[in-house]
Amino acid sequence: MGETSETGLLAQVPDGLYIAGEWRAARSGRTFGVTDPSTGEVVKEIADAAVEDGVAALDAACEAFPSWSRTPARERAELLRDAYDLIQERAEDLALLMTIEMGKPLAESMAEVRYGGEFLRWFSEEAAHVQGRYGSNPEGTGRMIVTQHPVGPCYLVTPWNFPLAMATRKIAPALAAGCTAVVKPASQTPLTTTLFVRLLADAGLPAGVVNVITTTSSGPVSEAVISDPRLRKLSFTGSTEVGQKLLAQAAAGVLRTSMELGGNAPFVVFEDADLDKAVDGALAAKFRNIGEACTAANRFIVHASLAEEFARRVTDRVREFRTGRGTEEGVTIGPLIDERAVDKADELVQDALANGARLRVGGGRIDRRGTFYEATVLSDVAAGSRILREEVFGPVLAITRFTDEDEAVRLANDTEFGLVSYVYTRDLARGQRMVERLETGMMGLNVGVVSNPAAPFGGWKLSGLGREGGAEGIHEYLQTKYTLTPDPFA
């Protein structure tokens, strides 16, 4: 697609806040620019919400809640299903928009559109399956009735790295459960979410059920919404640091919370692994989304007998990568989201090198417009290097060695995070032992990518609370009521 069609597509994205079924300017009239990270140019100006806009969005969500929560589940499901179909129809536009504002290669944006769309289909199927229980109490003196109810108006906050999927993973279960929502996308990537919500409106979403506020004042706007006693639920995906702040704010209202936070995934390759598959899995686990994924493998922990061969093979493959604007043919690595992300990746690489790591390929910024960093492989990374503790969130693959299973487990678990781990082994019993010993909410056992709308996504330790997707996902938006009635025969 050429520049004209990009301009045409950008013109189709509403530039207002979506509140109570209307696209509105921010009350202050302020706007902010959304940047293409591959060029550094502003591609569109959109409304910059202030606190009063956030409160107006919550007003709308509260007003819409009684009627939406009583809408039959089947009707809610059909709306989600129609929205799924619209996403398929507009897949190319959504993918292009995502590449423009976030930077990932077009093929990966298309994969995210498919993945993100699946949450609508999955939760359209779950909506009508919410059930309760009815039974006698053990004493036989009464009947116990257990029912499920939507929690109420929700505040959904999403990050910039998966602009569509992180929104649908929250909006779809909220709507399926009968909740209404205020959605706040990341200020770096608000356009994909905005276009998606326009599609939801086209699918017939009643006014006020979903409201979107785009803002550069995330802190004050979020604090006002979270501290409002009418809000009943906060679902956040982003960094652990911001998540902890919002959790503290949510404590005052004892809000239900779902927190999908940072990761620091270990990728363990045992001496009995199928090396070809481990290398394929490693490249997917590391370089998908330019390394900017919470599930990205951050620490490659490889048995000493294989470490050299593994490093050589991944390096050969990384040399074949092509870096550039995500819309260009054959590009596999796009720009990082901003200058700060480039600085962070470079700092971690320089620190590892200063601690004795060996640079196999890459290792620096790319001297061109935009915020690009070279796809990098480091081996022999020393214990104590920052890259083993901090999420690199960029295209940097860092390898360390181990010699026995206990050491592998100790190294893999040596982090305060616990989102996902990856293990490659052909020994079934060893694989099962790792399932039991690694402290993560998810695991790829001989697989480099685990995300699936039908699976419960979420972390242990500082990686979060709650689960998104799977049979569990809708329960994050439901609350349980137990009712006792006397034995009808007494």
Contact letters for ligand NAD, residues 152-171 (x by CB under 6 A): -----xxxxxx---x-----
- Is residue 214 involved in binding ligand NAD (CB under 6 A)? no
Q: Verify binding: residue 18, ligand NAD, rule CB under 6 A.
A: no
| 261 counts as binding ligand NAD under rule CB under 6 A | yes
Residue nearer to ligand NAD on the CB measure, 99 or 158:
158
Reported as type and span, the H/E element at residue 161 is none
Contacting ligand NAD (CB under 6 A), which of 184, 286, 313, 344? 184
Q: Which of 36, 112, 346, 391 binds ligand NAD (CB under 6 A)?
A: 391
What is d(CA 43, CA 40) in angstroms, rounded to the nearest whole number?
9
Under a CB-based contact definition with an 8 Å cutoff, are residues 237 and 76 in contact?
Answer: no
Question: Computed from CA positions of residues 90, 96, 100, 101, in that sequence, does the dihedral angle turn out positive or negative?
Answer: positive
Closest residue to ligand NAD: CB criterion: 238
With CB under 6 A as the contact rule, the residue among 187, 350, 446, 479 that binds ligand NAD is 187
Residue 464 beta carbon to ligand NAD: minimum distance, rounded to whole angstroms:
6
Nearest-angstrom CA–CA distance, 184 and 199: 17
Decide if 294 is catalytic: yes
Q: Give the contacts of 127 (CB within 8 A, at least 6 positions apart).
A: 73, 74, 76, 77, 80, 176, 177, 474
Question: Maximum Cα–Cα distance for the chain, whole Å?
Answer: 83
Closest approach of ligand NAD to the CB of residue 379, in Å: 24
DSSP element (H, E) containing 248: helix 240-252
Binding mask 416-455 for ligand NAD (x = CB under 6 A): ---x------------------------------------
Residue with smaller CB distance to ligand NAD, 157 or 182: 157
Is position 343 an interface residue for ligand NAD (rule: CB under 6 A)?
A: no
215 class by beta-carbon count within 10 Å (0-12 exposed, 13-18 middle, 19+ buried): buried
**Catalytic residue check, 390:** no
- Cα–Cα distances in angstroms (integers) from residue 67 to residues 22, 59, 72, 255, 421, in the given order: 18, 14, 10, 22, 43
Cβ distance 481 to 147 under 8 Å? yes
Q: DSSP letters along 195-233, please?
A: HHHHHHHHTTPPTTSEEE---S-HHHHHHHHHTSTT--E
Residue 250 interacts with ligand NAD (CB under 6 A): yes or no? no
Q: Active site residue: 260, 391, 468, 476, which one?
A: 260
Stretch binding ligand NAD (CB under 6 A), from 9-17, 27-35, 54-62, 179-187: 179-187
**Which residues participate in catalysis according to the annotation?**
260, 294
Q: Which positions touch ligand NAD (CB under 6 A)?
A: 157-162, 166, 184, 186-187, 218-219, 222, 237-239, 242, 245-246, 260-263, 294, 391, 419, 459, 463-464
